[in-house]
């Protein structure tokens, strides 16, 4: 879906990204808290993994250094969860 949007132009890609973000925000807001936390963690982990593999394979950054990205991602997730009262 996103490759198609990117092929159509940056505006279409940005619109798809915004719709993707909004859809998950709505879902997270309406489902029970435990499911919302699980979905949020899955989204954060998946996007962190995707970003890390892109940084290693495309940009050539050190794999072990990129693992720190997971630590940063987990830290932000936990701090956000605590701030929300969870």
Torsion of CA 12, 18, 23, 27, to 10 degrees: 160
* Reported pTM: 0.78
Q: How confident is the model at residue 44 (pLDDT cuts 50, 70, 90)?
A: very high
31 phi, psi to nearest 5 deg: -85, 160
Secondary structure (DSSP) of 64-79? HHHHHHHHHHHHHHHH
Question: Residue 86 above 70 pLDDT?
Answer: no
For residue range 71-83, list pLDDT tens digits in order: 999 999 999 989 9
The residue written with tokens 């394979």 in the block is 57
Secondary structure (DSSP) of 32-53? -HHHHHHHHHHHHHHHHHHHHH
């Amino acid at each position: 879906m996103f490759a198609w949007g990117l092929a159509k132009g940056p505006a279409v890609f940005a619109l798809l990204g915004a719709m993707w973000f909004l859809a998950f925000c709505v879902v997270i807001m309406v489902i029970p808290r435990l499911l919302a936390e699980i979905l949020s963690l899955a989204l954060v982990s998946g996007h962190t993994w995707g970003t890390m593999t892109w940084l290693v394979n495309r940009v050539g950054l050190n794999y072990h250094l990129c693992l720190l990205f997971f630590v940063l991602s987990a830290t932000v997730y936990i701090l956000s969860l605590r701030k929300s009262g969870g």
